[in-house]
Each structure stands twice: as C-alpha cells, then as structure tokens.
Amino acid sequence: ADRVMAAGGLPVIVPPLVEYIPDLLARFDAFVLTGGDDPRTEPFGVPTDPRVTPIHPDRQAFATDLIRALRDEAPAKPVLGVCLGMQLMALGATGSLAQHMPESHPDSHADHWEREHAISPDIPDAMPAGTVHSKHRQCVDSPGSLRVTARAHDGVIEAIDNPARPFYVGVQWHPERTPFAPLGQHLFDQLIAATR
C-alpha cells in the first residue's frame, strides 16, 4: 500500500470474494496481486507437492478468477504480480511451477529465501539488471504464454510479462522490499503511470 501511494495511486485492499470481481473491474484502475504462501496446483492439472504451505482456498479461487476476468474482460487494466502473484499469473497462462526449490535447485534455493540476489534481463528493454529481495520456496518452471524477461544467477525465472498488454508484469521478488529503485519503487510507478 505504501508503494502504491508513493507512486501516486490510492491503494484499496479488497476481500477475496469471487462474486465481487465484476464490480472490482468496473471500479479500479489497476491491480496488484500480492505475495503469500503457495498455490494448490490440482486446478491446473498437477498434484500439489505435500511439502508446500498452501494459501487459503478462497484467496486462490479469487486470484485465479480475477486473473481470468482481467484477461477476458479488461485486458487493458494494468497488473503487477508479486511473488505468489507472478506464480498465479504463470499458472493462469498454462504455465507450471517447480514446487519445491530444495529439490529443483538444490545448490541455490537458499539464495531465494529472505536474501538479496542479482537478476539479469533476458530482454533488456523490459527489465533492468540489479539486486532484488526474494522470499519464495517455489518458482515458475514455465511461464506458459507469457514472456520471460529476467532470470536469477541460477536460471530461476524472475520476471514475466505479456507485451501485448499495456502493463502486465509479474516479478518473483518483492519490489516493496527491494531498495534498488529500478526494480523496486519504479515497478509501482510504472503500474500507476499505465493507468493514465
């Protein structure tokens, strides 16, 4: 909320009630899909790893339906997905997750838990290089129909987007906790600028 305000927006925190999604699309100019625990993957055709810490099912249903509604009914609305938000964006684009990084990235998974690490752009015009603050146990394995724009030193997908939409960006790190402004506050600035 502080980062949205710093960018010139008015943040509104909404309850995860699926029935209000049409009203939310009509009322709000942009959306931030925030971080959290781990998604259940059965709705996407994959068993959930028993080692995950799942988010509340109401929150997952709400976020999944909101992502679908934004795609189908309001594709021009700016969206920023943070950590879990990026993972749900990828799943909604028929992507997939590596659900347990100690298994998928045994030598580097600790670099992504309450740590700062560098990212490098796959597409320089879409995302700069720099240092970010991460806290995640899972990562995007495939972005589906979305585009990879940055990776970590170990190949973990760190940023995705849809270049066909005005601002549809997901980042695996936490920009609200990232001191390096181009990968922190600037993402919120871009989100709010895209509403204008």
* Beta strands in 21-179, from DSSP E residues, in sequence order: 31-33, 79-82, 96-98, 113-121, 130-135, 139-142, 147-152, 157-161, 168-171
Q: What's the rounded Cα separation, in Å, for the pair 18 and 175? A: 27
Give the per-residue pLDDT at 2. 97
Give the per-residue pLDDT at 92. 97
Give the per-residue pLDDT at 124. 82
| Residue 103 parent element (H or E) | helix 101-104
Give the per-residue pLDDT at 117. 96
Give the per-residue pLDDT at 100. 94
List C-alpha distances in Å: 3 to 130, 152, 181, 186: 19, 24, 11, 9
List C-alpha distances in Å: 56 to 12, 43, 86: 20, 14, 17
Give the per-residue pLDDT at 77. 97
Q: How many residues does the chain have?
A: 196
Q: What's the rounded Cα separation, in Å, for the pair 98 and 139? A: 5
Give the per-residue pLDDT at 125. 87
Whether the CB-CB separation of 171 and 86 falls below 8 Å is answered with yes
Find, among 139, 178, 176, the residue nearest to 157 by Cα: 139
Whether the CB-CB separation of 20 and 69 falls below 8 Å is answered with no
Q: What's the rounded Cα separation, in Å, for the pair 21 and 100? A: 31
Give the per-residue pLDDT at 29. 97
DSSP state of 56: P
Q: Tokens for 135? A: 């806290």
Find, among 153, 127, 163, 32, the residue nearest to 88 by Cα: 32
DSSP state of 38: B
pLDDT in tens, the chain (196 residues): 999 999 999 999 999 999 999 999 999 999 999 999 999 999 999 999 999 999 999 999 999 999 999 999 999 999 999 999 999 999 999 999 999 999 999 999 999 999 999 999 999 889 999 999 999 999 999 999 999 999 999 999 999 999 999 999 999 999 999 999 999 999 999 999 999 9
DSSP state of 77: S
